[in-house]
Structure 1
């Protein structure tokens, strides 16, 4: 809309007239809002997050109101000969087992966070190592350490190899090392002294 079009809209209004009543239908209708949301990245992001919030609330409300009934009906279908008390006992057993498993996992996570910290392994990787069996966890950690050690060594060697000076020309393998030359001189000196040389 241009300035002149806006002025034409409000030109015929009285001094006490509400501008919103004239301007709002033109700018705040559903088509304008849809177009704005679809064309503006920030508006689309905000709108999507609002949809997610409402969908999450709806799912939580639905679970609270309907999920227990659906589970109970399914349990009755699978176990038609069981009394409601027996079904309730099974449900409680299942909840207890689930709670125990969650507690055991929390204990293992706590224990192995300390182990990973000692070994200087990033704690973000803890889920890669977790299992119900501590032997499995330990073997996964050891496997990770050996694999990463090998990887790091190869990368270090690769970098060191790239920065090495080229080998000098000629065959140096035939020349004695400094240690060999010193040992030889010392031996010659001892032979000389032993066989009557200067003392």
Structure 2
């Protein structure tokens, strides 16, 4: 029998119960047939949008039910709530640290004032040259001394260029000998120190 004969037989006997039962078996969907179809490219294209839809719906449900609690738990784990005692201890530690920093700054200020006085530098600007430690503060003061000395030298040379080696006092100051700028700075420092005491 060829295919055309089989088709003719099925068409002629379509009302026969046995033929209908056989055709029903042939057209019945089985798990193996469905699985075979879904493994093909056409099956994947048919199934993927449905899978994505179910996944997205499940993810949104999970987020609504669990995400906020998980985030809150993680935040609490990373930033544990402090007891009152822990808060007091933290405040005391901060106060102690602040006191240490202030004592260190005062120590550096005293050192810087002493060095500035010895080098006849203006002491009222020493606070601007304080650093985190003694070594850096001393280095800053050395830079100030260098710049200050250059400025004093430039001012002295300027006066000499204007008037020669004899500087004439103008404006009725009455003092024929003018003090050097460094001596004036030292006098200024002494005046400031006596006023602060």
TM-score (norm 1): 0.40
**Higher Rg:** 2
Larger RCO, structures 1/2 (Cα 8 Å, 6+ apart): 2
TM-score (norm 2): 0.41
